[in-house]
Structure 1
Amino acid sequence: MRIGLYPGTFDPVTRGHSDIIRRACRLVDRLVIGVAINRDKGPLFSLDERVAMIEAEAGPISAATGCEIAVHPFENLLIDCARDVGASVIVRGLRAVADFEYEYQMVGMNRALDDSIETVFLMAEAQHQAIASKLVKEIARLGGDVSKFVSPEVRAHLGAKLSA
């Protein structure tokens, strides 16, 4: 069984993330979505909220693709998380050239830590390339319409969180 790990903060999960999840499912039998706890980023949503949103988004993708999808919070090194879940491949989404520079460094470090785990980059579909969780939160905070960027369920979560 080929196991992949797709890590991120997912604060919140966007249509771009869902696109990468769907496409990663073509490459692996089991996809583990690693939700980084990452206290330094100061996420809007709690870990439990992010996990619940991802599970809700991933359920239909799993059913449609036949790929087993699991959600796994982690706070350790990415390479250690990959080992913990038995992943042979780390899946990373790329939106722009700026993403590549950072990701290139991460691959080098991860390969130095464990060269048996490969990293695969998937480019976001053109209509999703500009989507970033940070920007989605800013648009929502300022009263803008984020329906092009997130599912109706995530949009409702954003509205509830920001109106509280």
Structure 2
Amino acid sequence: MKKAIFPGSFDPITLGHLDIIQRALTLFDPVIVAVLKNSQKKTLLNIEERINLIKDSLNETLAETERERVEVHSFSGLLVNFAKQIGAEVIIRGLRAVSDYDYETQIALMNKKLYPSIETVFLVTDEKYSYISSTIAKELALFNGDTTQIVPKCVAKVLKEKYQK
């Protein structure tokens, strides 16, 4: 099976992200969750917190045989450079709506131009997760809403702690 990379800021990881990871595991081995370190982007969670929450979420939701096939790494700079560095052949992207497709297609074409042997595979988000985003999770937590329907329990706990300060 081919090595695939699933990039994102994961600020925080959601049930939608986990669904994409789980489905990608049926197609690729291993799946590398690549957490973007971008000093220009303001995040709620620092890079260590995001990586730890991803690992905790994987432990919470995936079977051990699935977890063994997922790696979590951070990267900065161009995704295609990181993909080359780790030998990934495929970039996985989740699509929630038609508007995601337009943006993701542009990025996929640019990545192909920079790294001709890389392929981008789009996985359409399961309908039950199509409204979920990290931004919505943070906004819900900010106003003391129940986030357990859209993020793993370990993430809901951390979001609650962050916004109760």
* Coarse TM-score class (shorter-chain normalised): over 0.9
State whether residues 28 and 67 of structure 1, in contact with CA within 8 Å, keep that contact through their aligned partners in structure 2: no
Deviation of the 1:68 alpha carbon: 1.1
Count of residues paired in the alignment: 164
3-state SS of paired residue (2:72)? strand
1:128 aligns with 2:129: yes
State whether residues 79 and 113 of structure 1, in contact with CA within 8 Å, keep that contact through their aligned partners in structure 2: yes
Equivalent-residue separation in structure 2 for 1:40 and 1:150 (angstroms)? 25
Q: How does 1:20-99 map to 2 (within 5 A)?
A: 20-59=20-59, 60-61=61-62, 63-65=64-66, 68-99=69-100
Equivalent-residue separation in structure 2 for 1:104 and 1:161 (angstroms)? 35
Equivalent-residue separation in structure 2 for 1:39 and 1:66 (angstroms)? 29
3-state SS of paired residue (1:13)? coil
One-letter amino acid of the structure 2 residue matched with residue 133 of structure 1: S
Equivalent-residue separation in structure 1 for 2:62 and 2:82 (angstroms)? 23
Equivalent-residue separation in structure 2 for 1:51 and 1:13 (angstroms)? 9
What does the per-residue CA deviation read over 1:98-120, in whole Å, with 9 as the maximum and x for residues that have no partner? 11111010011001001101000
In structure 2, the CA distance between the partners of 1:144 and 1:66, relative to structure 1 (3 Å rule), is closer
Q: TM-score, normalised by structure 2?
A: 0.94
Equivalent-residue separation in structure 2 for 1:134 and 1:146 (angstroms)? 12
State whether residues 16 and 124 of structure 1, in contact with CA within 8 Å, keep that contact through their aligned partners in structure 2: yes
**Percent of pairs identical after alignment?**
39
1:113 aligns with 2:114: yes
Deviation of the 1:67 alpha carbon: 5.3
Deviation of the 1:66 alpha carbon: 6.6
**Which ranges of structure 2 fall in alignment gaps of 5 or more residues?**
none
Partner in structure 2 of residue 146 of structure 1: 147
For the aligned residue pairs, the C-alpha RMSD in angstroms reads 1.4
In structure 2, the CA distance between the partners of 1:35 and 1:62, relative to structure 1 (3 Å rule), is farther
Equivalent-residue separation in structure 1 for 2:68 and 2:119 (angstroms)? 19
With 142-151 and 64-73 compared, the bigger mean Cα shift is at 64-73
State whether residues 58 and 67 of structure 2, in contact with CA within 8 Å, keep that contact through their aligned partners in structure 1: no
One-letter amino acid of the structure 1 residue matched with residue 131 of structure 2: A
One-letter amino acid of the structure 1 residue matched with residue 134 of structure 2: S
One-letter amino acid of the structure 2 residue matched with residue 98 of structure 1: S
1:159 aligns with 2:160: yes
